[in-house]
Chain A
Amino acid sequence: MDGVPSDPTQSQYLTFFIAEEEYGIRILRVKEIIRYDTVTRVPSTPRWIRGVLNLRGIVVPVVDLAIKFGIRETPIARHTCVVIVETDLEGERTLMGVVADQVSQVLELPPQEIGAPPAFGPRIRVDYIAGMGRVGKKFVHLLDIDGVLSAGELLAVSAAGASAEPAPGEAAPPEGAVT
Chain B
Amino acid sequence: MELEDDLLLQTFAAESEENLAAIEQSLIALERDPRAEEALRAIFRSAHTIKGNAATLGFRAVAEFAHLFEDVLDRLRKHQLLFGTALATQLLGAVDVLRQSIPRAIAGHDGLSGPAPEVTAALQQHLLVEAEASAPPGRPAARDGEAAAAVPAQPGPELATRSLRVDVEKLDRMLRLAGEIAVARGRQRALLEASGPRDGEALEVHRETDRLLLDLQEQIMQARMVPIGPVFRRHERAVRDIALAHGKLAQLSVEGDEVEVDTAVVEHMRDPLTHMIRNALDHGLEPPEQRAAAGKPRAGRVTLRARRDAGSIVIEVADDGAGLDLGRIRQAAAERGIETSRLREGELEALIFHPGLSTAPEVTELSGRGVGMEVVRRNVELLRGTIAVDSVRGAGTTVSIRLPLTLAIIDGFSVGAGEETYVVPLDAVVECLELPREAGAGSGGCGLIEVRGAALPFLRLRELFGLPAAAPGRENVVVVSQDGRLAGIAVDALFGRSQTVVKPLGQMFRGVPGVAGSTILGSGRVALILDVPALLRQAAARHGGAAAEATA
Contact = CB atoms under 8 A, between A and B. Distances in A.
Interface residues of A, number: 44
Contacts of A9: none
B337 A169 contact: yes
Given A38-B525, A168-B357, A52 B518 contact: yes
Interface stretch (B57-65, B116-124, B240-248, B544-552): B544-552
Nearest to B543: A174
B272 interface: no
Contact of B511 (A53, A89, A159): A159
A174 B338 contact: no
Interface string A138-179: 000000000000000011011111101111111111111111
A40 interface: yes
Contacts of B538: 164-166
Given A158-B508, A160-B511, A171-B544, A179 B527 contact: no
A48 B452 CA distance: 45
B372 to A, nearest CB: 15
B173 to A, nearest CB: 11
B198 interface: no
B495 interface: no
Contacts of A179: 350, 353-354, 537, 540
Contacts of A92: 507
Contacts of A169: 336-338
Contacts of B506: 59, 61, 89, 94
Contacts of B135: none
Interface string B301-339: 000000000000000000000000000000000001111
B176 A61 contact: no
Interface string A55-73: 0011101000000000000
A106 interface: no
B223 interface: no
Interface in A77-106: 89-90, 92, 94
A174 B547 contact: yes
A43 interface: yes
A40 B526 contact: yes
Contact of B509 (A61, A90, A171, A177): A61
Contacts of B410: none
A168 B511 CA distance: 17
A165 B513 contact: yes
Nearest to B541: A166
Given A172-B337, A177-B547, A59 B511 contact: no
Most B CB contacts (10 A, CB to CB) among A157, A159, A174 go to A174
B511 A43 contact: no
Contacts of B511: 157-162
A119 to B, nearest CB: 31
B520 A45 contact: no
Contacts of B504: 59
Interface string B525-544: 11110000010111011101
Contact of B526 (A59, A89, A160, A168): A59
Contacts of B208: none
Contact of B338 (A43, A52, A53, A172): A172
A162 B513 contact: yes
B540 A158 contact: no
A165 B535 CA distance: 9
Is the contact region of chain A dominated by helix, strand, or loop, or is it mixed?
Answer: loop
A42 interface: yes
A92 B510 CA distance: 14
A154 B507 CA distance: 9
Nearest to A61: B508
Contact of A161 (B512, B525, B548): B512
A57 B355 contact: no
Contacts of A175: 342-343, 548, 551-552
A175 B538 CA distance: 15
Contact of A40 (B514, B527, B534): B527
B515 interface: yes
B513 A174 contact: no
B356 interface: yes
B355 A158 contact: no
Nearest to B534: A165
A86 to B, nearest CB: 13
Interface string A2-41: 0000000000000000000000000000000000001011
A147 to B, nearest CB: 16
B353 A154 contact: no
A160 B355 CA distance: 15
Contact of A42 (B176, B505, B537, B548): B505
Contacts of B348: 178
Interface in B340-392: 342-343, 347-348, 350-351, 353-357
Given A43-B466, A52-B526, A157 B551 contact: no
A40 B518 contact: yes
Interface-centre pick from A42, A43, A157, A161 (highest chain B CB count, 10 A): A43
Interface string B470-507: 00000000000000010000000000000001011111
A172 to B, nearest CB: 4
B197 interface: no
Contact of B515 (A43, A53, A157, A166): A43
Given A38-B524, A168-B356, A177-B536, 12 more contacts: A38-B525, A44-B514, A53-B526, A54-B524, A57-B180, A59-B503, A160-B511, A161-B513, A168-B337, A170-B541, A173-B544, A175-B342
- In the A-B complex, the 10 residue pairs with the closest CB atoms: A158-B511, A176-B551, A162-B511, A166-B541, A169-B337, A174-B548, A43-B465, A178-B347, A161-B512, A177-B540
22 contacts: A38-B526, A41-B467, A43-B467, A43-B514, A54-B524, A57-B503, A59-B504, A59-B520, A89-B508, A157-B508, A160-B511, A168-B338, A168-B357, A173-B540, A174-B547, A175-B551, A175-B552, A176-B547, A177-B544, A177-B547, A178-B343, A178-B348
